[in-house]
Protein backbone atom coordinates (compact mmCIF):
# COMPACT_ATOMS: atom_id res chain seq x y z
CA UNK A 1 0.00 0.00 0.00
CA UNK A 2 2.79 2.41 0.92
CA UNK A 3 4.44 1.86 -2.46
CA UNK A 4 1.21 2.71 -4.26
CA UNK A 5 0.62 5.95 -2.39
CA UNK A 6 3.37 7.99 -4.14
CA UNK A 7 2.06 6.87 -7.54
CA UNK A 8 -1.49 7.77 -6.58
CA UNK A 9 -0.37 11.15 -5.28
CA UNK A 10 1.55 11.90 -8.49
CA UNK A 11 -1.46 10.93 -10.58
CA UNK A 12 -3.70 13.19 -8.51
CA UNK A 13 -1.29 16.10 -8.83
CA UNK A 14 -1.03 15.56 -12.58
CA UNK A 15 -4.80 15.66 -12.81
CA UNK A 16 -4.88 18.96 -10.92
CA UNK A 17 -2.43 20.47 -13.36
CA UNK A 18 -4.57 19.50 -16.35
CA UNK A 19 -6.79 22.57 -16.74
CA UNK A 20 -9.79 22.44 -19.06
CA UNK A 21 -9.22 24.13 -22.42
CA UNK A 22 -9.99 27.85 -22.49
CA UNK A 23 -12.67 28.54 -25.05
CA UNK A 24 -12.71 31.85 -26.86
CA UNK A 25 -15.13 34.69 -26.17
CA UNK A 26 -14.78 38.47 -26.11
CA UNK A 27 -13.67 38.46 -22.46
CA UNK A 28 -10.76 37.44 -20.26
CA UNK A 29 -7.57 37.09 -22.32
CA UNK A 30 -9.63 37.98 -25.42
CA UNK A 31 -11.32 41.11 -24.05
CA UNK A 32 -11.37 44.21 -26.24
CA UNK A 33 -8.54 45.84 -24.25
CA UNK A 34 -6.34 42.75 -23.95
CA UNK A 35 -2.62 42.63 -24.77
CA UNK A 36 -0.13 39.93 -25.66
CA UNK A 37 1.27 40.37 -22.12
CA UNK A 38 -2.10 39.35 -20.71
CA UNK A 39 -2.18 36.37 -23.04
CA UNK A 40 1.30 35.34 -21.86
CA UNK A 41 0.06 35.47 -18.26
CA UNK A 42 -2.82 33.15 -19.12
CA UNK A 43 -1.18 30.74 -21.59
CA UNK A 44 2.50 31.00 -20.61
CA UNK A 45 5.26 33.08 -22.30
CA UNK A 46 6.62 30.08 -24.21
CA UNK A 47 3.22 29.51 -25.83
CA UNK A 48 2.65 33.05 -27.16
CA UNK A 49 4.77 34.25 -30.09
CA UNK A 50 4.83 37.05 -32.67
CA UNK A 51 4.31 35.78 -36.20
CA UNK A 52 2.92 36.71 -39.62
CA UNK A 53 -0.68 35.58 -40.02
CA UNK A 54 -2.30 34.96 -43.39
CA UNK A 55 -5.33 37.19 -43.94
CA UNK A 56 -6.44 35.88 -47.35
CA UNK A 57 -5.79 36.65 -51.01
CA UNK A 58 -2.04 36.22 -50.48
CA UNK A 59 -1.87 38.92 -47.79
CA UNK A 60 -0.57 38.66 -44.22
CA UNK A 61 -0.26 40.81 -41.10
CA UNK A 62 2.01 40.61 -38.10
CA UNK A 63 0.13 39.30 -35.10
CA UNK A 64 0.32 36.90 -32.19
CA UNK A 65 -0.07 33.12 -32.28
CA UNK A 66 -0.95 31.13 -29.17
CA UNK A 67 0.25 27.50 -29.09
CA UNK A 68 1.82 27.81 -32.56
CA UNK A 69 2.88 24.15 -32.76
CA UNK A 70 -0.35 22.64 -31.44
CA UNK A 71 -3.04 22.58 -34.15
CA UNK A 72 -5.73 21.61 -31.65
CA UNK A 73 -5.09 24.59 -29.35
CA UNK A 74 -3.74 27.15 -31.84
CA UNK A 75 -5.27 30.65 -31.76
CA UNK A 76 -4.34 33.51 -34.12
CA UNK A 77 -4.70 37.13 -33.00
CA UNK A 78 -4.47 40.32 -35.06
CA UNK A 79 -4.17 43.68 -33.29
CA UNK A 80 -5.67 47.12 -33.73
CA UNK A 81 -2.37 48.41 -32.30
CA UNK A 82 0.20 45.94 -33.71
CA UNK A 83 3.19 48.02 -32.57
CA UNK A 84 2.27 47.61 -28.89
CA UNK A 85 0.36 44.34 -29.42
CA UNK A 86 -2.81 45.47 -27.71
CA UNK A 87 -6.55 45.70 -28.44
CA UNK A 88 -7.44 42.66 -30.58
CA UNK A 89 -8.78 43.27 -34.07
CA UNK A 90 -9.64 39.61 -34.62
CA UNK A 91 -9.18 36.20 -33.04
CA UNK A 92 -9.28 33.11 -35.27
CA UNK A 93 -9.66 29.35 -34.89
CA UNK A 94 -9.12 27.06 -37.86
CA UNK A 95 -9.50 23.40 -38.79
CA UNK A 96 -8.22 20.90 -36.21
CA UNK A 97 -8.98 23.28 -33.31
CA UNK A 98 -10.84 21.67 -30.40
CA UNK A 99 -11.73 25.03 -28.87
CA UNK A 100 -15.25 26.38 -28.88
CA UNK A 101 -16.98 29.72 -28.77
CA UNK A 102 -20.46 31.07 -27.98
CA UNK A 103 -23.09 28.40 -27.59
CA UNK A 104 -20.43 25.68 -27.53
CA UNK A 105 -19.85 26.03 -31.26
CA UNK A 106 -16.59 24.57 -32.54
CA UNK A 107 -14.96 23.50 -35.76
CA UNK A 108 -17.15 20.89 -37.43
CA UNK A 109 -20.47 22.21 -36.07
CA UNK A 110 -23.13 21.94 -38.76
CA UNK A 111 -25.48 24.63 -40.03
CA UNK A 112 -28.53 23.13 -38.36
CA UNK A 113 -26.86 23.09 -34.94
CA UNK A 114 -25.67 26.69 -35.33
CA UNK A 115 -29.15 27.75 -36.44
CA UNK A 116 -30.59 26.12 -33.31
CA UNK A 117 -28.03 27.90 -31.10
CA UNK A 118 -28.92 31.20 -32.74
CA UNK A 119 -32.60 30.55 -32.13
CA UNK A 120 -33.57 31.53 -35.66
CA UNK A 121 -32.25 31.40 -39.25
CA UNK A 122 -29.22 33.49 -40.12
CA UNK A 123 -27.69 34.80 -43.33
CA UNK A 124 -24.47 33.58 -44.94
CA UNK A 125 -22.53 34.13 -48.16
CA UNK A 126 -22.82 31.69 -51.02
CA UNK A 127 -20.21 29.04 -51.79
CA UNK A 128 -17.54 28.83 -54.48
CA UNK A 129 -15.61 32.10 -54.00
CA UNK A 130 -13.00 33.69 -51.67
CA UNK A 131 -15.38 34.45 -48.77
CA UNK A 132 -17.57 31.44 -49.29
CA UNK A 133 -19.90 30.37 -46.51
CA UNK A 134 -19.16 33.34 -44.20
CA UNK A 135 -21.96 34.46 -41.90
CA UNK A 136 -23.28 37.88 -42.89
CA UNK A 137 -25.93 38.47 -40.22
CA UNK A 138 -27.36 36.63 -37.21
CA UNK A 139 -30.66 38.44 -37.87
CA UNK A 140 -31.04 39.44 -34.23
CA UNK A 141 -30.59 35.90 -32.91
CA UNK A 142 -28.72 34.94 -29.73
CA UNK A 143 -25.37 34.72 -31.54
CA UNK A 144 -25.58 38.43 -32.32
CA UNK A 145 -25.25 39.19 -28.58
CA UNK A 146 -21.49 38.76 -28.19
CA UNK A 147 -20.45 42.03 -26.55
CA UNK A 148 -17.54 43.98 -28.06
CA UNK A 149 -17.03 41.65 -31.01
CA UNK A 150 -18.94 39.99 -33.81
CA UNK A 151 -18.92 36.22 -34.19
CA UNK A 152 -18.17 35.13 -37.76
CA UNK A 153 -18.33 31.51 -38.86
CA UNK A 154 -17.25 30.08 -42.19
CA UNK A 155 -19.07 27.03 -43.51
CA UNK A 156 -18.08 24.44 -46.09
CA UNK A 157 -20.53 21.95 -47.61
CA UNK A 158 -19.71 18.25 -47.46
CA UNK A 159 -21.28 16.49 -50.41
CA UNK A 160 -21.38 12.94 -51.71
CA UNK A 161 -21.89 14.02 -55.29
CA UNK A 162 -25.57 13.11 -55.50
CA UNK A 163 -27.70 14.92 -58.06
CA UNK A 164 -29.77 16.65 -55.35
CA UNK A 165 -26.63 17.85 -53.55
CA UNK A 166 -25.07 19.14 -56.75
CA UNK A 167 -28.26 21.04 -57.56
CA UNK A 168 -28.37 22.47 -54.02
CA UNK A 169 -24.72 23.52 -54.25
CA UNK A 170 -25.34 25.28 -57.55
CA UNK A 171 -28.35 27.09 -56.06
CA UNK A 172 -26.32 28.34 -53.06
CA UNK A 173 -23.11 29.38 -54.82
CA UNK A 174 -21.80 32.80 -55.76
CA UNK A 175 -21.15 36.24 -54.31
CA UNK A 176 -24.63 36.59 -52.82
CA UNK A 177 -26.27 36.12 -49.43
CA UNK A 178 -28.58 33.23 -48.58
CA UNK A 179 -30.76 32.29 -45.63
CA UNK A 180 -29.75 29.26 -43.59
CA UNK A 181 -33.44 28.27 -43.75
CA UNK A 182 -33.29 27.88 -47.53
CA UNK A 183 -34.17 24.25 -48.38
CA UNK A 184 -30.97 23.83 -50.40
CA UNK A 185 -28.89 25.06 -47.42
CA UNK A 186 -30.71 22.67 -45.12
CA UNK A 187 -30.03 19.81 -47.51
CA UNK A 188 -26.30 20.58 -47.69
CA UNK A 189 -26.06 21.28 -43.92
CA UNK A 190 -22.50 22.69 -44.30
CA UNK A 191 -19.99 22.51 -41.45
CA UNK A 192 -17.92 25.21 -39.73
CA UNK A 193 -14.26 25.22 -40.82
CA UNK A 194 -13.19 28.59 -39.39
CA UNK A 195 -14.26 30.73 -36.42
CA UNK A 196 -13.56 34.46 -36.13
CA UNK A 197 -14.16 37.02 -33.43
CA UNK A 198 -14.03 40.44 -35.09
CA UNK A 199 -13.83 43.41 -32.72
CA UNK A 200 -15.90 46.53 -33.23
**pLDDT digit string (tens) for 153-163?**
999 998 898 99
Helix (H, G, I), strand (E, B) or coil at 98: coil
Residue 61: burial class (beta carbons within 10 Å; 0-12, 13-18, 19+): middle
Q: How many residues does the chain have?
A: 200
* Residue 109 within any structural domain of the chain: yes
Quote the distance between the C-alpha of residue 85 and its chain's center: 21
- The pLDDT value given to residue 22: 74
- The pLDDT value given to residue 92: 97
* Residue 54 within any structural domain of the chain: no
Residues of the chain with pLDDT under 70: 1-21
* Residue 90 within any structural domain of the chain: no
* Residue 34 within any structural domain of the chain: no
**Structural domain boundaries, residue 159:** 100-141+154-193
- The pLDDT value given to residue 33: 97
- The pLDDT value given to residue 140: 97
* Residue 65 within any structural domain of the chain: no
* Residue 163 within any structural domain of the chain: yes
Record the pTM: 0.87
* Residue 66 within any structural domain of the chain: no
What is the tally of structural domains in the chain?
1
- The pLDDT value given to residue 105: 96
- The pLDDT value given to residue 158: 87
* Residue 88 within any structural domain of the chain: no
Amino acid sequence: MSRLMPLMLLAALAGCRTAPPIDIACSGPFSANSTDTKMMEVFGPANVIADNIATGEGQSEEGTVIFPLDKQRRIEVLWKDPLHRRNPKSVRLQASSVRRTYGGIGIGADLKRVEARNGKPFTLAGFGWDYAGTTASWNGGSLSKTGPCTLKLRFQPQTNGTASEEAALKATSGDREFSSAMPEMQLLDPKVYEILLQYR
